[in-house]
Amino acid sequence: MSFLIPRRQFDPAIQEMMDRSETDPDVLRDDLANLRTINKYFGGLEANRKSILPLFQEIPAERELTILDLATGSADQPIALVRFARREGRKIRIVALDKNPVMLSVARAECSAFPEITIEERDLLTLPYPDNSFDFVLCSLAIHHFSRGDAIEILRSMKRLSRVALVVHDLHRSWITAWAAWLYTHLTTRNPITLFDSYLSARRAFTAEELESMAREAGVHRKTITRYPFFRLVLVGFPD
């Protein structure tokens, strides 16, 4: 392990604050607003846009695009994709999942003007959909919340459910990522969830090499892994 890459800090007994049942709902809503800002201005939406939109060309223009978005949070990624589809005159249907009641409430409110998006309460480890149910399956900034074993199971489910591609977007673990997250959040917010979770997320994230190994174990053999600005890492995998 390089001196720039710390060992992964994952302890299932220490949850990120956003995942804790006792977290104050109002504080969590404010944290989600912070995350939307970070995604908008610091590469989250852009990394997904550059990774996913070229894949839309795989589907005839007259056919509806179908997407499953895992751990959607406040659904800013699905909303961005719907806006693009509207501009391009493409039909699109997105099923966005989360299991946190507060996040589901926020996501439904954010999506009130986007009937193309359906919000469902689901656990990522027990997805009930039939094989090949969606063109694309997206997991954005969520896979680091899981142990390596559970992350592999999620990748395996994403492969099973996708017809065209699966897309995993997360942070790239390094000391630079961790301290940049710490510095930015401490300069811009006093929200305790954002302050705690941002640094821990960077320490729990995977490296490109780890993500490649996990995808291989999940049976995803055709794939690309790309680094984007602001410490973003995107894996695009294709069904065999």
Per-residue pLDDT tens digits for 72-121: 999 999 999 999 999 999 999 999 999 999 999 999 999 999 999 999 99
Residue 224 has pLDDT above 60, yes or no: yes
Give the CATH H-level superfamily of domain 39-172+207-238: Vaccinia Virus protein VP39 (3.40.50.150)
Averaged pLDDT score across all residues of the chain: 96
Q: What percent of the chain has pLDDT over 70?
A: 100
Residue 23 tokens, joined: 């977290």
Q: What is the pLDDT of residue 1?
A: 56
CA distances from 150 to 74, 103, 106, 146, 153 (A): 23, 21, 26, 6, 5
Domain coordinates in residue numbering, the chain: 39-172+207-238
Judged on CB neighbours under 10 Å (0-12, 13-18, 19+), 185 is: buried
CA distances from 138 to 7, 34, 43, 48, 117 (A): 26, 21, 16, 9, 14
Q: How open is the CA angle 99-240-133, to the nearest 5 degrees?
A: 40
Which tens digit of pLDDT belongs to each residue from 196-207?
A: 999 999 999 999
pTM for this model (two decimals): 0.96
CB 140 within 8 A of CB 111: no
Q: What secondary structure letter does DSSP report for 162?
A: E
Which tens digit of pLDDT belongs to each residue from 15-62?
A: 999 999 999 999 999 999 999 999 999 999 999 999 999 999 889 999
